[in-house]
Amino acid sequence: MTRLRPFALDRPASLEEVGALLAEHGADAALYAGGTELLLLLKAGLLRVQRLIDLKRVPGLADITADDGTVVLGATARHRTVERSALLRERCPLVAGVARHVANVRVRHVGTVGGNLAFADPHSDLATLFLALDAELTLWSRAGERRVALADFVRGPYETVRRDDEILTGVRLRPWPAGTVSAYLKFGVHERPSLGVALAATIGPDGAVAPARLAVGCVGPRPQRCPEFEREAAGRSVAELAGRAAALAEAAADAVETTGDLHGSADYKRDMTRVFVRRAIEIVAARAAGEDPHARYPYTVVV
Amino acid sequence: MRRGARGDGVSGPGPLRVVGQSVRRVDALEKVTGRARYVTDLELPGMLHVTLVRSPYAHARLVRLDTQAATGVPGVRAVVGSGDLTGCDPYFGPAFRDRPILAIDVVRYEGEPVVAVVADDEGAAAEAAALVDVAYEELPAVTTLEEALAPGAPLVHTAEPLAGHFADLSTLRAKPGTNICHQFDFERGRGAAAFADAHLILEDTYTFPRVQHYSMEPHAAVAAWNEAGELTVWASTQNPYSVRVELAKMFDVPLGRIRIVVPLLGGGFGGKTYAKLEPIVGALARMTGRPVRLALSAEEAFRTVRRCDARVRARLGFTREGLLLAAECDADFDVGAYADIGPRIIQKGTYTATGPYRVPHVRLHSNAVYTNTTPGGAFRGFGVPQLAWAIESVLDEAARRLDHDPVELRRQNLLAHGEEFAPGDAPIDGKFEESLNRAAHAIRWTQGAAADRGRGVAMMLKASIGPTVSEAIVRLHADASATVLASAVEMGQGARTVMAQIAAEVLAIPVGRVFVATPDTAVTPYDQTTSSSRSTTMTGRAVQEAAADVRDQLLHVASGRLGVPAARLRLEDGAVVGASERLAYPDVLEERFGMGGGELIGRGVVAPGRSAAPLGGSTPFWEMAVGAAEIVVDEETGAITVEKYVSVADVGRCINPLQCEAQDEGAVLQGLGHTLLEEMLYERGQLLNANLVDYRVPRAEDLPRVLECRFVENADGAGPFGAKGAGEGSLVPVAPAVGNALSRLTGVRLRELPLTPERVWRALRARRAGP
Amino acid sequence: MPDIRTPSSCSLALTVNGRPVTLDVPAHALLLDVLRDRLGLKGAKRSCDIQVCGACTVLVDGAPVSACTYLAVEADGRAVLTVEGLADGERLDPLQEAFIEHGAVQCGFCTSGMLLSAKALLDEDPSPTPERVVQYLRGNLCRCTGYRKLVDAIVACGAARGGTA
Amino acid sequence: MRVTRELALAVPPGALWTLLWDVPRMVACVPGCVEAREVEAHRRYAARLTQKVGPIRLSLPLDVEVTEVEPERRLALRARGRDPRIGAEVAMRVTLDIDARDGGSVLRIDAEGRVLGTLGALGHGAIQRKAEESVDEFGARLREAARG
């Protein structure tokens, strides 16, 4: 780790000012909020910039607001704020719960939702969970604002569609309707998660699942939804889901793209996907029946 | 009475007042208030900062060095390659002087220092370092034992290695034309021939991974020469006196001109033994005429030292009744690019391969093998963990084949108290069966585990260093306070507190009135090293003798003054007391010196010297510990959870029970590191995971639900008040105990550490797939 | 492109361990280096330097942060607490006392960070369960003690503080 | 990292061979290659490569050395370079084997390389993926160039 090389710090008070700075300095400037990834890249000497553009003084960028049935998390909202947000606890309880297990308490006090998503480390929880919440990201630039579905936003490890002149301003989540039972499981020995599974089953008045949402993260280059699983699960009762959990999990595992890395081989990750999708189904089924599964597995966080 | 394990203390001469109590650490206050100072905190006026430019290649020739741009950076004082290191021997190393201060002509591992940049601040140094342009021509590298030992393998070292400074390694036996830089052989009885009479013979090969000490304080050193040509180095080192020898040889000056000062260490675990950064800062301080500071990053510590990984083929022969008849071991240790103390590790680790058991016929062989990776060095256990992982696993397999209970099989083979381990070496100095029984009892071995739980047990034996020397001085001041001058380094294990307790006990004064000086070769007398669990025993006894020397002087002077024979006087609460007489120490000194000043100086020397023992000197004590683990396995993910772990160590006497407990709890967690989590991963010579994101050091959540560290205290040790060494032993049994528990529970025998979830998962899948 | 040789400096006004401090720092200065090299508060240590080990933990307005990866300018107008500010003169904080009592201090290099993280935890959850302490200490590494005594000390301190000793 | 691909092309080996030696058109085919010039005919070339691995921009001069030439059958080269800004050292070996197949030719690409230094270790996963993407892109551009 080398020392930080000198840079200037700009603290614009509006998106327009940020845009102007980006236009003026281009690759010599970097957007900065919590800095939990950026400062490490600068210290490692992997990135050199002349200026940091601090987003934390742009009003409204850190707010968590409800907006016609969706919930919008401002890009500079800190994990700690997400963890304690009453709105999220009420509308997207899983999001508040998962935020509590991001990295460690110090990173949660400083790191932001936008920084996490824009860095797009394949081994992280938020993108996986947000994918199951049909998240849509808002990218602002002087040329205008565009909305990108999270599934299209992340192209691969550390690669997103965000252009250099664009600022990620927020992420819009579509909370699951009332009567949805959900679970997030994260497994791994390392500092960062090796596997993330988000499962949400919305149970209709007739007791049938309509729809189910399943996202799997960390095992491949980007988080992935499991459309086959979701089709198979739709229309079935939760009990039926639990009954066919093994087969459904197997199908989901076969469909995901897994890549080997320091966290494990591709086939191990595929089998862990099978194991934890099944466990997620069992937990969701138990929760649907009003039981507290208080399932505990080694090196696993169940939210 | 403070909480802490109550040793079933054997009463020495009268009840002990301070020894055996969990007194408050003498360095606790400065550590909890943030006032404690480590080398990395040191600032000297005019001090320059060093950044090292390191090789990205595992093996390459240095073609060209362009430092022109770097020297232009404002604040840079010097940009130094090996060619610029004039006026000193550029090689160092305890066994072989094979390690260059900066790479000479060739780099032998990824991360090896090539150029040093010295500047006013770390920012300028780092900026200049990035501008140093080194042209390399890659050479074929060997990065595993298999590659390094293959016939015709590229050689890590081509020239004949120069002998190092330490006499006992003068019998170094490199194998010319190979990557083997030392070999060790040991035979007893009829050796391998005895296998012919064995009822059961079991053989298997186990491997132990490359792991990192990961002291929380990476290596750091500050050096300064004065006008009189004397070098002072403030170093984060465990053996100032070895470093002093290496620097005196390097700069060709008398030992007295080199001064090594060791404030507190932020952990060591063996990784800070022998010279590491001291040569480079010494050389740069001389070149620049300014004090020079080098503090490594955590990533750089991964490229400085590591534990030697090993491949051990073990073969055990048993009689029908389960008695060990013969043992054969071939161990290859990967010592990395430079030998460091590797040659002594392969000797020490292999010598007690047969553990605490009686094995009449033995043939042991080990090799120290060079590879193009971070140099291996001493690490808690010093070769014994690598051997015990193999032997204790094969022993457990034998118990299964002989249908013996694993505890029973061990019990019936244990060496007895007083029995000979090897001709010429110290007899066994502990009742090992007590430790085994207590461990088995604590884990409720005989009640059998629940269906979903597996239990495993393992033992270990380790010799400490012999010949060895520890000297100490105790000074009793006129106000009845005392200063202890001893060179035991405080690296968290509590040595400073132990020395204070020993001196306070002998001098009958409160611990708070005893001050233990910072190790400083210009002040504190010679001590060979702070490693091998030897400080309490050897340095402790030297302190005890020095304090006793002061005691005898007190009694002698008081006897004269009181007219009572010294034999009928004793020390109590800072005074010499007889049947009815009492003379406080200040008065005794007043009597002795005729004035209010002066001090009584006592000296202690402990030097058991050479013996006919196979390693050149008898071990001053045997370190023996037992580990018993109870685990649960999530068979779907392969994840092992250690639900309960019991460690029992035969320590003779806990000078400070709470510190012994904390040491052994730390040893168990560090053992769980290489058992379940840690491994340095190389890909074609490049180290991929030199940081905490990708190298998993145990955390609080890895703490077994139940962790009990207990001690057998029969006051039968050679140390003060019957103490023996502790702190390394409890780490060794962790891996085999967990491996044996896994085998008992799942029938899967893994021979490679760490037992990661994926490795266990793969083995379980293979077992389900059947033969 | 101009290489910033004269970094734009920012003037900070903050309190450190209850004392008001004003100083000018370059924008790229890290809080850890300002505390250690400018203010002589050497208690916080640089170890992993990547926000994982916790040896550099300090509290900013009561929240634990990794001073090794936190720009000093972010502390402007805030209250910084380092280990040097825990004791009240010679009277130790209950946590410092509990760490000594329970043998939770060995080499001491992680101790500052452990104490401040523990303080932040107790401020938030006065008498935490051992499981809560273990989860909270996910970001504080110690290589010497094996954590048993650290958890005991924090739980005991919590109990004492919560009046349920 | 290691990437192997097999590519069917419309042109016969001879034409492909000529294309491979056409430096300006090769520059256009190699993703991230901004310039290349001949230093020693058919032996050594100097090129500059820029790549983006996530937020990290890599820009380095490459010293390219042709190591094997079997006209219309095999071309092997070795490339090395260093980006001093981020201290990344890149070493690559690329072997191209050509066979005739029903009127056109089949090109087998075997690219093996290492990125050394901090980026190599930290970006381990991303680099393998980036290499695969680059070889696929090279193949696509080559097929386009062959048609043109």
Residue B688 falls inside a structural domain? yes
| pLDDT score, position D86 | 85
Burial status of residue B58 (CB atoms within 10 A of its CB: 0-12, 13-18, 19 or more): buried
| pLDDT score, position B3 | 35
In this structure, the answer to whether residues B456 and B499 fall within a common structural domain is no
pLDDT band at B6 (very low <50, low <70, confident <90, very high): very low
Find the mean pLDDT for residues C111-118: 98
Find the mean pLDDT for residues B73-98: 95
Cβ separation of B217 and C45 shorter than 8 Å? yes
In this structure, the answer to whether residues B480 and B448 fall within a common structural domain is no
pLDDT band at B14 (very low <50, low <70, confident <90, very high): low
Does residue B7 register a pLDDT over 50?
no
pLDDT band at B771 (very low <50, low <70, confident <90, very high): low
Mean pLDDT of chain B: 95
Does residue B160 register a pLDDT over 80?
no
Superfamily of domain C94-161: [2Fe-2S]-binding domain (1.10.150.120)
In this structure, the answer to whether residues B702 and B650 fall within a common structural domain is yes
Residue of B nearest to C132 (CA): B701
Superfamily of domain D2-147: START domain (3.30.530.20)
Of C101, C105, C146, the CB nearest to B703: C146
| pLDDT score, position D52 | 86
Chain B residues in contact with A101 (beta carbon < 8 A): none
Q: In chain B, pLDDT over 70 holds for what percent of residues?
A: 98
In this structure, the answer to whether residues B473 and B589 fall within a common structural domain is yes
Domain ranges for chain D: 2-147
CATH 3.10.20.30 fits C9-85, yes or no: yes
Sheet containing strand A136-141, strands side by side: A64-67, A70-74, A167-173, A136-141, A144-149
What φ, ψ does residue D41 adopt, rounded to 5°?
-45, 130
Helix H segments across B63-132?
Answer: 68-71, 122-131
Q: Which domain holds residue B584?
A: 468-606
Helix H segments across chain D?
Answer: 13-20, 23-29, 118-122, 124-147
Of D87, D89, D124, the CB nearest to B688: D124
CA distance B4 to chain C (A): 9
In this structure, the answer to whether residues B633 and B764 fall within a common structural domain is yes
pLDDT band at B13 (very low <50, low <70, confident <90, very high): low
Chain C residues in contact with B264 (beta carbon < 8 A): 107-108
Residue of B nearest to A260 (CA): B758
Size of interface A-C (CB pairs under 8 A): 77
Q: In chain B, pLDDT over 90 holds for what percent of residues?
A: 94
Does residue C165 register a pLDDT over 50?
no
pLDDT band at D122 (very low <50, low <70, confident <90, very high): confident
Is B687 in CB contact (< 8 Å) with chain D? yes
Q: Which domains does chain A have, with CATH numbers?
A: 8-54 (3.30.43), 64-173 (3.30.465.10), 180-289 (3.30.390.50)
Residue A34's nearest CA partner among D55, C12, C70 is C70
Cα B102 off chain centre by = 26
| pLDDT tens, residue order, chain A (303 aa) | 557 999 999 999 999 999 999 999 998 999 999 999 999 999 999 999 999 999 999 999 999 999 999 999 999 999 999 999 999 999 999 999 999 999 999 999 999 999 999 999 999 999 999 999 999 999 999 999 999 999 999 999 999 999 999 999 999 999 999 999 999 999 999 999 999 999 999 999 999 998 899 999 999 999 999 999 999 999 999 999 999 999 999 999 999 999 999 999 999 999 999 999 999 999 999 999 999 888 899 999 999
Is D119 in CB contact (< 8 Å) with chain A? yes
- Centre a 10 Å sphere on the Cβ of residue B9 and count the other Cβ atoms it contains: 18
Does residue C164 register a pLDDT over 50?
no
Buried b (16+ CB within 10 A) or exposed e, C131-164: ebbbbbbbbbbbbbbbbbbbbbbbbbbbeeeeee
Q: Which residues lie below 8 Å from residue C125, measured CB to CB, with a gap of 6+?
A: C132, C158
In this structure, the answer to whether residues B637 and B581 fall within a common structural domain is no
Q: Which residue has the tokens 């963890």?
A: A83
Sheet containing strand B470-476, strands side by side: B514-516, B482-485, B470-476, B600-606
pLDDT tens-digit series, residues B512-530: 999 999 999 999 999 999 9
What φ, ψ does residue D19 adopt, rounded to 5°?
-60, -40
User: Which residues sit opposite C161 in a β-bridge?
Assistant: none
Q: Which residues lie below 8 Å from residue B307, measured CB to CB, with a gap of 6+?
A: B208, B210, B211, B212, B213, B376, B377, B379, B385, B674
Helix, strand, coil percent values for chain C (each to nearest 5): 40, 20, 40
In this structure, the answer to whether residues B771 and B628 fall within a common structural domain is yes
User: What are the angstrom distances between the C-alpha of B514 and each of A162, B108, B480, B504, B511?
Assistant: 65, 48, 9, 6, 5
pLDDT tens-digit series, residues D49-62: 999 888 888 899 99
In this structure, the answer to whether residues B663 and B720 fall within a common structural domain is yes
pLDDT tens-digit series, residues B665-707: 999 999 999 999 999 999 989 999 999 999 999 999 999 999 9
Cβ separation of D124 and B110 shorter than 8 Å? no
For residues B148 and B310, what is the distance between their CA atoms, to the nearest angstrom? 13
In this structure, the answer to whether residues B705 and B768 fall within a common structural domain is yes
pLDDT tens-digit series, residues A221-238: 999 999 999 999 999 999
In this structure, the answer to whether residues B596 and B629 fall within a common structural domain is no
Sheet containing strand A195-203, strands side by side: A224-225, A209-217, A195-203, A180-187, A300-302
pLDDT tens-digit series, residues C8-27: 789 999 999 999 999 999 99
Stronger pLDDT, D114 or B169, i.e. the higher one? D114
pLDDT tens-digit series, residues B626-639: 999 999 999 999 99
Cα B581 off chain centre by = 48
B512, B500 Cβ separation under 8 angstroms = no
| pLDDT score, position C1 | 38
| pLDDT score, position C2 | 41
Mean pLDDT of chain A: 95
| pLDDT score, position B166 | 72
What CATH number is given to the structural domain containing B522?
3.30.365.10
Residue B229 falls inside a structural domain? no
Does residue B396 register a pLDDT over 90?
yes
Of B130, B683, B684, the CB nearest to D87: B130
Does residue C5 register a pLDDT over 50?
no
3-state secondary structure of D133: helix
| pLDDT score, position B451 | 93
Q: What angle do CA B661, B663, B668 make, to 5 degrees?
A: 95
Residue B716 falls inside a structural domain? yes
Residue B420 falls inside a structural domain? no
Residue B190 falls inside a structural domain? no
CA distance B664 to chain D (A): 34
| DSSP-assigned letter for residue C68 | G
| Interface mutation vs chain B, best among A1, A189, A296, most B CBs within 10 Å | A189
In this structure, the answer to whether residues B714 and B661 fall within a common structural domain is yes
In this structure, the answer to whether residues B568 and B641 fall within a common structural domain is no
Residue C29's nearest CA partner among A6, D41, D65 is A6
Among A1-10, B94-103, B648-657, B682-691, the least confident range: A1-10
Residue B717's nearest CA partner among B503, B534, B574 is B534
Q: Encoding tokens for residue C50?
A: 């990547």
How many structural domains is chain B composed of?
2
Residue B676 falls inside a structural domain? yes
Chain A residues in contact with D128 (beta carbon < 8 A): 259
Does residue B224 register a pLDDT over 70?
yes
| Interface mutation vs chain A, best among D50, D59, D89, D118, most A CBs within 10 Å | D118
| pLDDT score, position A50 | 95
| Interface mutation vs chain C, best among A57, A104, A112, A303, most C CBs within 10 Å | A104
Chain B residues in contact with D89 (beta carbon < 8 A): 56-57
Cβ separation of B299 and A1 shorter than 8 Å? yes
| pLDDT score, position B1 | 34
Does residue C4 register a pLDDT over 70?
no
Q: What angle do CA A81, A83, A86 make, to 5 degrees?
A: 80
Cβ separation of D117 and B56 shorter than 8 Å? yes
User: What are the angstrom distances between the C-alpha of B84 and each of B79, B125, D137?
Assistant: 9, 17, 48
For residues B567 and A235, what is the distance between their CA atoms, to the nearest angstrom? 97
Is D57 in CB contact (< 8 Å) with chain B? no
Residue B70's nearest CA partner among B132, B139, B7 is B132
Cβ separation of B693 and A192 shorter than 8 Å? yes
Residue B383's nearest CA partner among B305, B316, B462, B275 is B462
Chain A residues in contact with B680 (beta carbon < 8 A): none
Q: What angle do CA B137, B143, B146 make, to 5 degrees?
A: 130
Question: Does pTM top 0.80 for this prediction?
Answer: yes
Cα B697 off chain centre by = 18
Cβ separation of B686 and D120 shorter than 8 Å? yes
Domain ranges for chain C: 9-85, 94-161
For residues C47 and C44, what is the distance between their CA atoms, to the nearest angstrom? 10
